[in-house]
Amino acid sequence: MSSALNSEIGPDPKAPSDLGAWYLVGMLTLVQMVSYIDRFLPSLLAPRIKADLHLSDFQLGLILGPAFAIFYVAVGLPFGWAADRFSRRGILAFGVSVWSLMTSAASLAVSFGPLFAARLGVGFGEAAVAPCAISLIGDRFERTRRAKAINLYMAGSFLGAGFAFLFGGPVVGLIQSLPPLVHGMRPWQSVFLIMGAPGLILATLMATIREPERTERTGTKAGSLLDALSYLGRRWRAFGALFVGSSGSVTLGALSLWNVSLFQRTWGWHVGQVGVATGLLYLTAGPLGSIGGVWLIQRWQAMGRRDAPLRTLVVGLLIAAPGFILYPLAPTATLGLCGLFVAFVGQAIATAAGPLSLTFLAPGQIRSQATSIYFLIISLAGQLLGPPPVGWMVDRFGHPADLRYAVSIEACAVSVPAIVLVILGLRAFGRSAKALELEAGVGDVGP
Protein backbone atom coordinates (compact mmCIF):
# COMPACT_ATOMS: atom_id res chain seq x y z
CA MET A 1 0.00 0.00 0.00
CA SER A 2 2.89 2.34 0.82
CA SER A 3 4.45 1.75 -2.59
CA ALA A 4 1.11 2.48 -4.22
CA LEU A 5 0.93 5.71 -2.33
CA ASN A 6 4.40 6.73 -3.49
CA SER A 7 3.62 5.84 -7.08
CA GLU A 8 0.47 7.98 -7.00
CA ILE A 9 2.44 10.94 -5.75
CA GLY A 10 5.21 10.34 -8.27
CA PRO A 11 8.94 10.71 -7.84
CA ASP A 12 10.04 13.78 -5.97
CA PRO A 13 13.13 15.45 -7.40
CA LYS A 14 13.86 16.85 -3.96
CA ALA A 15 13.62 13.52 -2.13
CA PRO A 16 16.37 13.24 0.49
CA SER A 17 18.51 10.71 -1.36
CA ASP A 18 21.71 12.03 0.21
CA LEU A 19 22.93 12.81 3.68
CA GLY A 20 22.41 16.53 3.19
CA ALA A 21 18.74 16.39 4.15
CA TRP A 22 19.40 14.52 7.38
CA TYR A 23 22.36 16.74 8.13
CA LEU A 24 19.91 19.66 7.93
CA VAL A 25 17.56 17.93 10.38
CA GLY A 26 20.45 17.12 12.71
CA MET A 27 21.58 20.73 12.78
CA LEU A 28 18.05 21.98 13.40
CA THR A 29 17.61 19.44 16.22
CA LEU A 30 20.81 20.71 17.87
CA VAL A 31 19.51 24.26 17.55
CA GLN A 32 16.25 23.21 19.20
CA MET A 33 18.10 21.47 22.04
CA VAL A 34 20.40 24.41 22.77
CA SER A 35 17.47 26.84 22.63
CA TYR A 36 15.64 24.88 25.32
CA ILE A 37 18.73 24.64 27.50
CA ASP A 38 19.19 28.42 27.32
CA ARG A 39 15.46 28.84 27.96
CA PHE A 40 15.65 26.90 31.24
CA LEU A 41 19.02 28.31 32.37
CA PRO A 42 17.70 31.14 34.62
CA SER A 43 15.57 28.69 36.61
CA LEU A 44 18.71 26.75 37.53
CA LEU A 45 20.42 29.95 38.73
CA ALA A 46 17.37 31.60 40.30
CA PRO A 47 18.40 31.46 44.01
CA ARG A 48 21.82 33.03 43.40
CA ILE A 49 20.44 35.62 40.98
CA LYS A 50 17.78 36.65 43.48
CA ALA A 51 20.28 36.96 46.33
CA ASP A 52 23.02 38.80 44.42
CA LEU A 53 20.71 41.25 42.62
CA HIS A 54 18.38 41.67 45.64
CA LEU A 55 15.29 40.79 43.59
CA SER A 56 11.79 40.31 44.90
CA ASP A 57 9.90 37.10 44.07
CA PHE A 58 7.79 39.11 41.64
CA GLN A 59 10.88 40.40 39.82
CA LEU A 60 12.34 36.90 39.72
CA GLY A 61 9.07 35.63 38.26
CA LEU A 62 9.30 38.24 35.51
CA ILE A 63 12.83 37.08 34.67
CA LEU A 64 11.79 33.42 34.51
CA GLY A 65 8.67 33.92 32.38
CA PRO A 66 7.53 37.14 30.69
CA ALA A 67 11.06 38.43 30.03
CA PHE A 68 11.53 35.58 27.55
CA ALA A 69 7.96 35.27 26.34
CA ILE A 70 7.25 38.91 25.40
CA PHE A 71 9.51 39.06 22.36
CA TYR A 72 9.25 35.33 21.63
CA VAL A 73 5.54 35.82 20.96
CA ALA A 74 5.69 39.33 19.50
CA VAL A 75 8.40 38.95 16.85
CA GLY A 76 7.52 35.47 15.63
CA LEU A 77 5.17 36.90 13.00
CA PRO A 78 7.75 39.31 11.48
CA PHE A 79 10.28 36.47 11.38
CA GLY A 80 7.72 34.29 9.59
CA TRP A 81 7.06 37.06 7.06
CA ALA A 82 10.79 37.38 6.38
CA ALA A 83 11.34 33.62 6.16
CA ASP A 84 8.74 33.36 3.38
CA ARG A 85 10.79 35.80 1.28
CA PHE A 86 14.45 35.61 2.21
CA SER A 87 17.06 33.03 3.15
CA ARG A 88 15.76 30.95 6.04
CA ARG A 89 19.30 29.75 6.70
CA GLY A 90 20.46 33.35 7.11
CA ILE A 91 17.52 34.32 9.31
CA LEU A 92 18.11 31.26 11.48
CA ALA A 93 21.81 32.08 11.86
CA PHE A 94 20.85 35.63 12.84
CA GLY A 95 18.35 34.42 15.44
CA VAL A 96 20.75 31.89 16.98
CA SER A 97 23.47 34.54 17.15
CA VAL A 98 21.17 37.05 18.85
CA TRP A 99 19.90 34.70 21.55
CA SER A 100 23.42 33.35 22.22
CA LEU A 101 24.93 36.83 22.51
CA MET A 102 22.10 37.90 24.79
CA THR A 103 22.62 34.80 26.95
CA SER A 104 26.24 35.82 27.39
CA ALA A 105 25.22 39.47 27.85
CA ALA A 106 23.26 38.45 30.95
CA SER A 107 26.67 37.99 32.60
CA LEU A 108 27.03 41.78 32.63
CA ALA A 109 23.78 42.37 34.52
CA VAL A 110 24.16 44.03 37.91
CA SER A 111 20.47 44.82 38.47
CA PHE A 112 17.00 43.73 37.44
CA GLY A 113 16.71 45.98 34.36
CA PRO A 114 19.74 44.76 32.37
CA LEU A 115 18.97 41.12 33.15
CA PHE A 116 15.35 41.57 32.04
CA ALA A 117 16.57 43.18 28.82
CA ALA A 118 18.99 40.32 28.16
CA ARG A 119 16.20 37.76 28.54
CA LEU A 120 14.05 39.81 26.15
CA GLY A 121 16.87 39.39 23.63
CA VAL A 122 16.95 35.64 24.16
CA GLY A 123 13.23 35.46 23.38
CA PHE A 124 13.74 37.66 20.31
CA GLY A 125 16.40 35.35 18.88
CA GLU A 126 14.60 32.09 19.63
CA ALA A 127 11.47 33.37 17.87
CA ALA A 128 13.27 32.85 14.54
CA VAL A 129 13.78 29.11 15.04
CA ALA A 130 10.36 27.50 14.46
CA PRO A 131 9.26 29.43 11.32
CA CYS A 132 12.57 28.74 9.59
CA ALA A 133 13.00 25.15 10.75
CA ILE A 134 9.51 23.89 9.88
CA SER A 135 9.64 25.58 6.47
CA LEU A 136 13.09 24.17 5.70
CA ILE A 137 12.08 20.61 6.62
CA GLY A 138 8.80 20.94 4.73
CA ASP A 139 10.65 21.90 1.54
CA ARG A 140 13.51 19.42 1.93
CA PHE A 141 11.31 16.34 2.50
CA GLU A 142 8.32 15.15 0.51
CA ARG A 143 5.17 14.32 2.45
CA THR A 144 5.79 10.60 2.89
CA ARG A 145 9.21 11.24 4.49
CA ARG A 146 8.38 14.37 6.45
CA ALA A 147 7.13 12.70 9.64
CA LYS A 148 10.52 11.30 10.69
CA ALA A 149 12.28 14.57 10.03
CA ILE A 150 9.86 16.80 11.96
CA ASN A 151 9.56 14.29 14.82
CA LEU A 152 13.35 14.26 15.19
CA TYR A 153 13.46 18.06 15.16
CA MET A 154 10.67 18.39 17.72
CA ALA A 155 12.31 15.76 19.92
CA GLY A 156 15.00 18.37 20.45
CA SER A 157 12.64 20.22 22.81
CA PHE A 158 12.28 17.15 25.04
CA LEU A 159 16.00 16.41 24.87
CA GLY A 160 16.91 20.02 25.64
CA ALA A 161 14.53 20.17 28.60
CA GLY A 162 15.74 16.78 29.81
CA PHE A 163 19.41 17.76 29.66
CA ALA A 164 18.63 21.07 31.37
CA PHE A 165 16.93 19.34 34.31
CA LEU A 166 19.19 16.30 34.57
CA PHE A 167 22.62 17.76 33.87
CA GLY A 168 22.01 21.48 34.29
CA GLY A 169 22.54 21.43 38.04
CA PRO A 170 25.89 19.57 37.99
CA VAL A 171 27.19 21.64 35.05
CA VAL A 172 26.20 24.87 36.73
CA GLY A 173 27.82 23.65 39.93
CA LEU A 174 31.05 22.84 38.11
CA ILE A 175 31.23 26.24 36.44
CA GLN A 176 30.47 27.96 39.71
CA SER A 177 33.29 26.06 41.43
CA LEU A 178 35.88 27.36 38.95
CA PRO A 179 37.72 30.68 39.37
CA PRO A 180 35.79 33.62 37.85
CA LEU A 181 36.47 34.20 34.17
CA VAL A 182 36.65 37.93 34.82
CA HIS A 183 37.77 39.53 38.05
CA GLY A 184 34.76 40.36 40.19
CA MET A 185 32.33 38.28 38.11
CA ARG A 186 29.89 36.24 40.19
CA PRO A 187 29.60 32.47 39.53
CA TRP A 188 26.12 32.70 37.97
CA GLN A 189 27.40 35.43 35.65
CA SER A 190 30.18 33.10 34.51
CA VAL A 191 27.55 30.47 33.71
CA PHE A 192 25.66 32.87 31.43
CA LEU A 193 28.90 33.95 29.74
CA ILE A 194 29.98 30.37 28.98
CA MET A 195 26.56 29.05 27.94
CA GLY A 196 26.29 31.55 25.11
CA ALA A 197 29.21 29.91 23.28
CA PRO A 198 27.49 26.72 21.94
CA GLY A 199 24.86 28.77 20.15
CA LEU A 200 27.46 30.97 18.48
CA ILE A 201 29.15 27.83 17.15
CA LEU A 202 25.81 26.59 15.79
CA ALA A 203 25.13 29.97 14.18
CA THR A 204 28.42 29.66 12.29
CA LEU A 205 27.56 26.12 11.19
CA MET A 206 24.31 27.33 9.60
CA ALA A 207 26.45 28.25 6.58
CA THR A 208 27.03 24.52 5.98
CA ILE A 209 23.36 23.66 5.32
CA ARG A 210 21.71 24.06 1.92
CA GLU A 211 18.71 26.33 1.37
CA PRO A 212 16.12 24.15 -0.44
CA GLU A 213 13.79 25.41 -3.14
CA ARG A 214 10.29 26.20 -1.86
CA THR A 215 7.87 23.40 -2.74
CA GLU A 216 4.10 22.84 -2.86
CA ARG A 217 3.54 26.36 -4.12
CA THR A 218 0.05 27.46 -5.13
CA GLY A 219 -1.55 30.57 -6.59
CA THR A 220 -1.64 32.14 -3.14
CA LYS A 221 0.89 34.94 -3.01
CA ALA A 222 3.45 35.35 -0.26
CA GLY A 223 2.14 38.78 0.57
CA SER A 224 1.35 40.47 3.86
CA LEU A 225 0.35 38.84 7.08
CA LEU A 226 -3.25 39.58 6.11
CA ASP A 227 -2.82 37.39 3.02
CA ALA A 228 -1.66 34.50 5.19
CA LEU A 229 -4.49 35.08 7.65
CA SER A 230 -6.94 35.15 4.75
CA TYR A 231 -5.69 31.77 3.55
CA LEU A 232 -6.07 30.31 7.04
CA GLY A 233 -9.48 31.92 7.42
CA ARG A 234 -10.84 30.26 4.28
CA ARG A 235 -9.88 26.90 5.80
CA TRP A 236 -10.76 27.76 9.38
CA ARG A 237 -12.20 24.37 10.26
CA ALA A 238 -8.99 22.51 9.39
CA PHE A 239 -6.63 25.06 10.91
CA GLY A 240 -8.93 25.55 13.89
CA ALA A 241 -8.87 21.85 14.73
CA LEU A 242 -5.07 21.87 14.48
CA PHE A 243 -4.66 25.00 16.62
CA VAL A 244 -7.06 23.72 19.29
CA GLY A 245 -5.38 20.31 19.47
CA SER A 246 -1.85 21.68 19.67
CA SER A 247 -2.91 24.35 22.17
CA GLY A 248 -4.33 21.59 24.34
CA SER A 249 -1.07 19.65 24.13
CA VAL A 250 1.07 22.69 25.03
CA THR A 251 -1.25 23.68 27.87
CA LEU A 252 -1.09 20.19 29.35
CA GLY A 253 2.68 20.28 29.12
CA ALA A 254 2.77 23.67 30.86
CA LEU A 255 1.13 22.10 33.91
CA SER A 256 4.42 20.32 34.60
CA LEU A 257 5.84 23.73 35.57
CA TRP A 258 4.05 23.09 38.86
CA ASN A 259 5.92 19.81 39.38
CA VAL A 260 8.47 21.05 41.90
CA SER A 261 5.77 22.53 44.11
CA LEU A 262 3.46 19.56 43.52
CA PHE A 263 6.00 16.93 44.53
CA GLN A 264 7.14 19.01 47.51
CA ARG A 265 3.66 19.63 48.87
CA THR A 266 2.21 16.21 48.10
CA TRP A 267 5.06 13.75 48.67
CA GLY A 268 7.77 15.77 50.43
CA TRP A 269 10.37 15.63 47.66
CA HIS A 270 13.13 18.24 47.43
CA VAL A 271 14.06 20.19 44.33
CA GLY A 272 17.02 17.98 43.38
CA GLN A 273 14.89 14.83 43.36
CA VAL A 274 12.23 16.43 41.20
CA GLY A 275 14.83 17.78 38.76
CA VAL A 276 16.52 14.43 38.22
CA ALA A 277 13.22 12.54 37.93
CA THR A 278 11.76 15.08 35.50
CA GLY A 279 14.93 15.09 33.40
CA LEU A 280 14.90 11.30 33.10
CA LEU A 281 11.24 11.34 32.09
CA TYR A 282 11.88 13.91 29.37
CA LEU A 283 14.85 11.95 28.01
CA THR A 284 12.98 8.63 27.89
CA ALA A 285 9.32 9.46 27.26
CA GLY A 286 10.11 12.12 24.67
CA PRO A 287 12.01 9.91 22.20
CA LEU A 288 9.60 7.01 22.81
CA GLY A 289 6.60 9.17 21.98
CA SER A 290 8.35 10.59 18.91
CA ILE A 291 9.06 7.09 17.58
CA GLY A 292 5.48 6.04 18.22
CA GLY A 293 4.17 9.12 16.47
CA VAL A 294 6.25 8.43 13.36
CA TRP A 295 4.98 4.86 13.25
CA LEU A 296 1.34 5.95 13.49
CA ILE A 297 1.68 8.65 10.84
CA GLN A 298 3.43 6.37 8.38
CA ARG A 299 0.90 3.60 8.98
CA TRP A 300 -2.03 5.90 8.23
CA GLN A 301 -0.24 7.43 5.25
CA ALA A 302 0.23 3.93 3.86
CA MET A 303 -3.54 3.54 4.12
CA GLY A 304 -3.97 6.73 2.06
CA ARG A 305 -5.19 8.89 4.96
CA ARG A 306 -4.58 12.58 4.29
CA ASP A 307 -5.45 13.38 7.91
CA ALA A 308 -2.71 11.05 9.23
CA PRO A 309 -0.83 13.73 11.24
CA LEU A 310 -3.97 15.18 12.82
CA ARG A 311 -5.21 11.68 13.69
CA THR A 312 -1.86 11.10 15.39
CA LEU A 313 -2.29 14.33 17.35
CA VAL A 314 -5.63 13.00 18.62
CA VAL A 315 -3.98 9.76 19.72
CA GLY A 316 -1.30 11.75 21.53
CA LEU A 317 -3.94 13.71 23.41
CA LEU A 318 -5.88 10.54 24.24
CA ILE A 319 -2.72 9.09 25.82
CA ALA A 320 -1.55 12.30 27.49
CA ALA A 321 -4.88 13.34 29.03
CA PRO A 322 -5.32 10.42 31.48
CA GLY A 323 -1.68 10.73 32.53
CA PHE A 324 -1.92 14.46 33.28
CA ILE A 325 -5.30 14.07 35.00
CA LEU A 326 -4.31 11.15 37.23
CA TYR A 327 -0.63 11.63 38.11
CA PRO A 328 -1.27 14.43 40.66
CA LEU A 329 -3.83 12.21 42.42
CA ALA A 330 -1.51 9.20 42.78
CA PRO A 331 -1.12 7.85 46.34
CA THR A 332 2.69 7.69 46.03
CA ALA A 333 5.37 9.66 44.22
CA THR A 334 6.43 6.55 42.30
CA LEU A 335 2.95 6.06 40.89
CA GLY A 336 2.81 9.77 40.17
CA LEU A 337 5.98 9.49 38.08
CA CYS A 338 4.49 6.52 36.21
CA GLY A 339 1.47 8.62 35.32
CA LEU A 340 3.69 11.53 34.30
CA PHE A 341 5.71 9.19 32.07
CA VAL A 342 2.52 8.20 30.22
CA ALA A 343 1.57 11.87 29.98
CA PHE A 344 4.94 12.81 28.47
CA VAL A 345 4.74 9.97 25.92
CA GLY A 346 1.37 11.21 24.73
CA GLN A 347 2.52 14.80 24.67
CA ALA A 348 5.58 13.85 22.59
CA ILE A 349 3.32 12.16 20.04
CA ALA A 350 1.12 15.25 19.82
CA THR A 351 3.99 17.75 19.90
CA ALA A 352 5.52 16.67 16.58
CA ALA A 353 2.19 15.83 14.92
CA GLY A 354 1.11 19.47 15.22
CA PRO A 355 3.84 21.13 13.10
CA LEU A 356 3.71 18.22 10.66
CA SER A 357 -0.03 18.76 10.23
CA LEU A 358 0.69 22.39 9.44
CA THR A 359 2.91 21.43 6.49
CA PHE A 360 -0.01 19.45 5.03
CA LEU A 361 -2.23 22.55 5.03
CA ALA A 362 -0.01 25.56 4.30
CA PRO A 363 1.55 26.05 0.85
CA GLY A 364 5.28 26.66 0.62
CA GLN A 365 5.12 30.40 0.02
CA ILE A 366 3.26 31.16 3.28
CA ARG A 367 4.44 28.21 5.38
CA SER A 368 6.75 30.26 7.61
CA GLN A 369 4.04 32.83 8.35
CA ALA A 370 1.53 30.06 9.06
CA THR A 371 4.08 28.49 11.40
CA SER A 372 4.53 31.80 13.21
CA ILE A 373 0.76 32.17 13.65
CA TYR A 374 0.56 28.58 14.87
CA PHE A 375 3.27 29.03 17.52
CA LEU A 376 1.86 32.41 18.56
CA ILE A 377 -1.52 30.86 19.29
CA ILE A 378 -0.30 27.75 21.09
CA SER A 379 2.29 29.71 23.09
CA LEU A 380 -0.34 32.17 24.33
CA ALA A 381 -2.66 29.29 25.16
CA GLY A 382 0.05 27.53 27.15
CA GLN A 383 0.85 30.65 29.16
CA LEU A 384 -2.72 31.78 29.79
CA LEU A 385 -4.57 28.46 30.15
CA GLY A 386 -1.85 26.41 31.87
CA PRO A 387 -0.27 27.49 35.18
CA PRO A 388 -2.34 30.63 36.04
CA PRO A 389 -5.75 28.91 36.47
CA VAL A 390 -4.10 26.30 38.68
CA GLY A 391 -2.75 28.97 41.02
CA TRP A 392 -6.14 30.71 41.05
CA MET A 393 -7.88 27.46 42.05
CA VAL A 394 -5.39 26.76 44.84
CA ASP A 395 -6.03 30.24 46.24
CA ARG A 396 -9.77 29.57 46.14
CA PHE A 397 -9.37 26.14 47.76
CA GLY A 398 -7.46 27.78 50.61
CA HIS A 399 -4.84 25.09 51.23
CA PRO A 400 -1.45 24.64 49.46
CA ALA A 401 -1.78 20.85 49.54
CA ASP A 402 -4.82 21.11 47.26
CA LEU A 403 -2.48 21.89 44.36
CA ARG A 404 -2.80 18.27 43.23
CA TYR A 405 -6.56 18.64 42.74
CA ALA A 406 -6.18 21.93 40.87
CA VAL A 407 -3.69 20.40 38.41
CA SER A 408 -5.98 17.43 37.80
CA ILE A 409 -9.06 19.61 37.28
CA GLU A 410 -7.21 21.87 34.86
CA ALA A 411 -5.90 18.89 32.86
CA CYS A 412 -9.42 17.53 32.51
CA ALA A 413 -10.92 20.92 31.60
CA VAL A 414 -8.33 21.44 28.84
CA SER A 415 -8.00 17.97 27.34
CA VAL A 416 -11.62 16.84 26.96
CA PRO A 417 -12.84 19.78 24.81
CA ALA A 418 -9.61 19.73 22.79
CA ILE A 419 -9.99 16.05 21.92
CA VAL A 420 -13.64 16.47 20.92
CA LEU A 421 -12.97 19.51 18.72
CA VAL A 422 -10.01 17.92 16.94
CA ILE A 423 -12.01 14.79 16.16
CA LEU A 424 -14.78 16.98 14.71
CA GLY A 425 -12.21 18.69 12.49
CA LEU A 426 -10.64 15.58 10.96
CA ARG A 427 -12.85 15.59 7.86
CA ALA A 428 -12.21 19.29 7.18
CA PHE A 429 -8.48 18.67 7.56
CA GLY A 430 -8.59 15.89 4.97
CA ARG A 431 -10.47 18.09 2.49
CA SER A 432 -8.03 20.98 2.91
CA ALA A 433 -5.01 18.70 2.57
CA LYS A 434 -6.46 17.29 -0.65
CA ALA A 435 -7.13 20.78 -2.00
CA LEU A 436 -3.50 21.78 -1.40
CA GLU A 437 -2.23 18.61 -3.10
CA LEU A 438 -4.32 19.27 -6.20
CA GLU A 439 -3.56 22.98 -6.37
CA ALA A 440 0.17 22.44 -5.84
CA GLY A 441 0.22 19.53 -8.29
CA VAL A 442 1.73 16.97 -5.93
CA GLY A 443 -0.80 14.26 -6.78
CA ASP A 444 -4.02 12.74 -5.53
CA VAL A 445 -3.53 10.50 -2.54
CA GLY A 446 -6.31 8.17 -1.55
CA PRO A 447 -9.83 9.05 -0.44
In a domain, 289, yes or no: yes
- pLDDT attached to residue 12: 44
Which of 113-122, 159-168, 284-293 is predicted with the least confidence, judged by mean pLDDT?
159-168
- State whether 249 and 144 are in the same domain: no
> Does 445 score more than 60 pLDDT?
no
Using the 3D structure, point to which of 213, 241, 273 is the last residue of a domain: 213
Look at residue 84 in the predicted model and tell me its pLDDT.
84
Residue 289 and residue 314 in one domain: yes
More confident residue, 87 or 60: 87
Per-residue pLDDT band for 243 (boundaries 50, 70, 90) equals very high
Q: What is the 3-state secondary structure (H, E, C) of the chain?
A: CHHHHHHHHCCCCCCCCCHHHHHHHHHHHHHHHHHHHHHHHHHHHHHHHHHHHCCCHHHHHHHHCHHHHHHHHHCHHHHHHHHCCCCHHHHHHHHHHHHHHHHHHHHHCCCHHHHHHHHHHHHHHHCCHHHHHHHHHHHHCCHHHHHHHHHHHHHHHHHHHHHHHHHHHHHHHHHHHCCCCCCCCCHHHHHHHHHCHHHHHHHHHHHHCCCCCCCCCCCCCCCCHHHHHHHHHHCHHHHHHHHHHHHHHHHHHHHHHHHHHHHHHHHCCCHHHHHHHHHHHHHHHHHHHHHHHHHHHHHHHHCCCCCHHHHHHHHHHHHHHHHHHHHHHCCCHHHHHHHHHHHHHHHHHHHHHHHHHHHHHCCHHHHHHHHHHHHHHHHHHHHHHCHHHHHHHHHHHCCHHHHHHHHHHHHHHHHHHHHHHHHHCHHHHHHHHHHHHHHHCCCCCCC
Do 169 and 247 lie in one domain? The reply is no
What confidence score (pLDDT) does residue 338 get?
96
> Are residues 147 and 41 part of one domain?
yes
Query: Where is pLDDT greater, at 116 or 70?
Result: 116
* Residue 116 in domain: yes
187 and 322 both lie in a single domain:
no
Residue 221 has what pLDDT? 55
Q: What's residue 31's pLDDT?
A: 94
Lowest mean pLDDT among 53-57, 201-205, 373-377: 53-57
Total domain count for the chain? 2
pLDDT band at residue 396 under the 50/70/90 scheme: confident
Domain end, chosen from 185, 213, 241, is at 213
Mean pLDDT of the chain: 84
The answer to whether residue 9 scores a pLDDT higher than 50 is no
Query: pLDDT (tens digit, 9 = 90+) per residue, 211-241?
Result: 888 776 665 555 667 778 888 888 899 999 9
CATH code of residue 423: 1.20.1250.20
What is the predicted pLDDT for the residue at 441?
Answer: 64
Give the model's pLDDT for residue 219: 56
Helices 236-254, 333-361: axis angle to 10 degrees equals: 160
User: Is residue 4 in some structural domain?
Assistant: no
pLDDT at 218: 61
Please tell me the predicted confidence (pLDDT) of residue 169: 65
* pLDDT tens string 345-393: 999 999 878 888 888 888 877 888 888 889 888 888 877 777 778 888 8
202 and 66 in a common domain: yes
For residue 45, CA distances in Å to 89, 107, 169, 418 come to: 32, 12, 9, 35
Chosen domain end from 170, 187, 213: 213
